[in-house]
């Protein structure tokens, strides 16, 4: 079926059927390579999105931890305590 279509198109454009078959094979290869490249780009994009979400979550967790530690430090100083930076806790005098 494909050979008949290629032969008909070759006669329409004045090209030999052998050349038309080579051109059809090259077009098929180009379409297959385009599909593979598109799949690769899609997978790569998904990986970037997942990594960005993970980084954003890590950043938010670090910000929350720093905010809580700063609040604890302020509470310790306000209570006339001494903040132990190594242990991250308040030592009462």
Residue at 9 is within a domain:
yes
Question: What are the Cα distances from residue 10, in Å, to 3, 6, 28, 30, 31?
Answer: 10, 6, 16, 20, 20
pTM for the model stands at: 0.51
Q: Is the pLDDT of residue 93 over 70?
A: no
Distance CA 80, CA 21 (A): 89
Owning domain of residue 55 = 2-68
48-83 pLDDT, tens digit per residue, is: 899 999 999 999 999 888 777 777 788 888 888 888
3-state SS class at 88:
coil
Residue at 49 is within a domain:
yes
Residue at 76 is within a domain:
no
Residue at 79 is within a domain:
no
Q: Is the pLDDT of residue 85 over 70?
A: yes
Residue at 60 is within a domain:
yes
Residue at 92 is within a domain:
no
Residue at 17 is within a domain:
yes
Number of domains in the chain: 1
11-61 pLDDT, tens digit per residue, is: 788 878 888 888 888 989 999 999 999 999 999 999 889 999 999 999 999
Residue at 77 is within a domain:
no
Phi, psi dihedrals of residue 84, rounded to the nearest 5°:
-95, 105
Distance CA 29, CA 34 (A): 9
């Amino acid at each position: 079926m494909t050979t008949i279509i290629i032969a008909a198109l070759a006669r329409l454009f004045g090209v030999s059927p052998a050349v038309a078959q080579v051109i059809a094979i090259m077009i098929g290869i180009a379409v297959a390579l385009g599909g593979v490249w598109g799949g690769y780009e899609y997978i790569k994009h998904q990986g970037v999105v997942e990594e960005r979400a993970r980084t954003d979550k890590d950043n938010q967790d670090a910000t929350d931890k720093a905010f809580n530690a700063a609040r604890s430090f302020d509470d310790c100083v306000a209570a006339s305590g001494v903040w132990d930076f190594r242990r991250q806790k308040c030592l009462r005098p």
